[in-house]
Structure 1
Amino acid sequence: MSYPAPFDLSGSVALVTGAGSGLGIEFCEVLAQAGADVACADLDEGAAAATAARVEGLGRRAAAITCDVSDEAAVAAMVDTTVRELGRLDVLFANAGIADPNPAPVHQFRTADWHQVLDVDLHGVFYSCREALGVMVQQGNGKIITVASMWGLTGASSVFPIPAYNAAKGAVVNLTRELGLEYATANIQVNALCPGFYRTRLAGGAYDDPDFVSAITAFTPMGRVAEAAEIRGPALFLASAASDYMTGQTLVMDGGCTAK
């Protein structure tokens, strides 16, 4: 499969964190289909390798990298490995994230859970962006896509309480604005994807629970949960020249939830 300009990524190198599952797999595959070589990073070594094999099956080069994005030294090594093995770094998807492990109202929320979510969902994004920007500034170009959430734009408690996830994703949205402004004259565009309900394993086995699916379907104006593959079009738009005059922005794909 090939894509016409301005969506063609031939000759580009992309790095995707959280590449071993969910939306990360979709990002890696669409990038490869558009012509990019892809570094597939994940905390799970086997999952990273499996996604890298998918990329290679599409005829592109791949690197499988084990990385805990909450560890800044590991993130620096991840970016170094990407450049060493694939030659450069043109596109970053700062995608790795976790849900609140024990969702609860704030007065019952565990401090350890708060730190765990922010370490991955916010600090991990910061570390990944910082290290990628060090390469992109030297190259004179780049695309960074942070993966936030519709819950970074609005509260979630009308559906369920997830205070740490909300706080982290809200911070990612504003960090994206800041980075977009900081690097606007450096030929580096930084934008955020804000998905709504996509059928992934982020929420553990929640999508196997008919009551949960019924509740979120009723909450979503379009009346359905998105399939993971539906993220591919928006992702490719932000990774490609199609979005060259867009920076510091959020692209929301939520079936209409935040329009309410």
Structure 2
Amino acid sequence: MSSEPNTLTDIFGLTGKVGFVTGGASGLGLEISKALALAGAHVVVADINLSGAQNASESILSLGAQSIAVQIDVTSEQSVQNAVSTAVAHFGSIDILFNNAGIADPVPSLLHEYDTSNWHKVISVILTGTYHTSKAILPHMLKQGYGKIINIASMWGLSGSSSVFPIPAYTAAKGAVVNLTRELGLQYAKENIQVNAICPGFYRTNLAGGAYGKKEFVDAITAFTPMGRIAEAHEIRGPAIYLASSASDFMTGQMVVVDGGCQAK
């Protein structure tokens, strides 16, 4: 049983905690990394793009937090183990894991026209990457008797996307991450490790390549979103801190949907 909090910092603060963010060099991962830093955590920025991770880590240092950059290929179990070992050697522990690394379907396609190599690539990064990183970090959380795992899923993990565009590998992978979140939430519920997911809608990042620069695409997804706008990347910070902090200590195996109302339709 946790002690009663007396301040907002007691509820949402992360002073002294260590966060590990995959895909932390850009997009939602960068915003999550910054949010952790602002809440007082030390941040491991893990990304396949090492120079990008180093730049992100430097920006976090400028916020007054401690941070290191590590290169990681979430599709490689050995690469993940190496990155986790480096992080633990530097900070001594990992308290918070954000499984954020992901890619979009390179070419939106109907399934019978879908490129098989692209299918395996998307599944490998999103689903297998979540497996690799969670598997590597859970033993450290079990040893210390505490942990938070937050998977970045998608609103397309809860429903099909083809009313807007066909992205079968992405929706399949994110749907699997949603149910893996439920499974891990149950497996580790008695170990003081909470496993939850964020299911974002349309956020302005580079995940969709140059799509956000195309008026037709922007008009379509804006019209699809009940709030009538696309979220800015920094708007992920609030949900991220909620799930990373003690505010969510009695919550596990759940999805926080932040999609401007899409799932309500």
Same-fold status (TM-score > 0.5): yes
CA–CA separation in structure 2 for the residues paired with 1:6 and 1:132: 24
1:151 matched to 2:156: yes
3-state secondary structure, aligned to 1:6: helix
Aligned AA (1:201): N
Aligned AA (2:61): E
The equivalent of 1:172 in structure 2 is: 177
Q: 1:245 aligns with which of 242, 250, 253?
A: 250
% identical equivalent positions: 58
CA–CA separation in structure 1 for the residues paired with 2:29 and 2:179: 22
* Deviation readout 1:160-194 (Å, 9 max, x if unpaired): 00000000000000000000000000000000000
CA–CA separation in structure 1 for the residues paired with 2:242 and 2:66: 21
CA–CA separation in structure 1 for the residues paired with 2:10 and 2:140: 25
CA–CA separation in structure 2 for the residues paired with 1:65 and 1:3: 32
> Mind listing any 5+ residue stretches in structure 1 that lack a counterpart?
none
Q: 2:167 aligns with which of 153, 159, 162?
A: 162
The equivalent of 2:234 in structure 1 is: 229
Q: 1:40 aligns with which of 23, 45, 48?
A: 45
The equivalent of 2:188 in structure 1 is: 183
Q: 1:105 aligns with which of 97, 101, 110?
A: 110
Aligned AA (1:230): E
Q: 1:217 aligns with which of 219, 222, 229?
A: 222
The equivalent of 2:4 in structure 1 is: none
Q: What stretches of structure 1 move > 2 A for 4+ residues in a row?
A: none
CA–CA separation in structure 2 for the residues paired with 1:173 and 1:61: 31
Deviation at 1:3, TM superposition (A): 6.3
CA–CA separation in structure 1 for the residues paired with 2:249 and 2:34: 22
1:136 matched to 2:144: no
Deviation at 1:71, TM superposition (A): 0.5
CA–CA separation in structure 2 for the residues paired with 1:220 and 1:86: 41
> Mind listing any 5+ residue stretches in structure 2 that lack a counterpart?
1-6
3-state secondary structure, aligned to 1:232: helix
The equivalent of 1:27 in structure 2 is: 32
CA–CA separation in structure 1 for the residues paired with 2:130 and 2:8: 29
Q: 1:116 aligns with which of 96, 121, 140?
A: 121
| Map 1:2-21 → 2, pairs under 5 A | 4-21=9-26
1:75 matched to 2:89: no
CA–CA separation in structure 1 for the residues paired with 2:26 and 2:48: 11
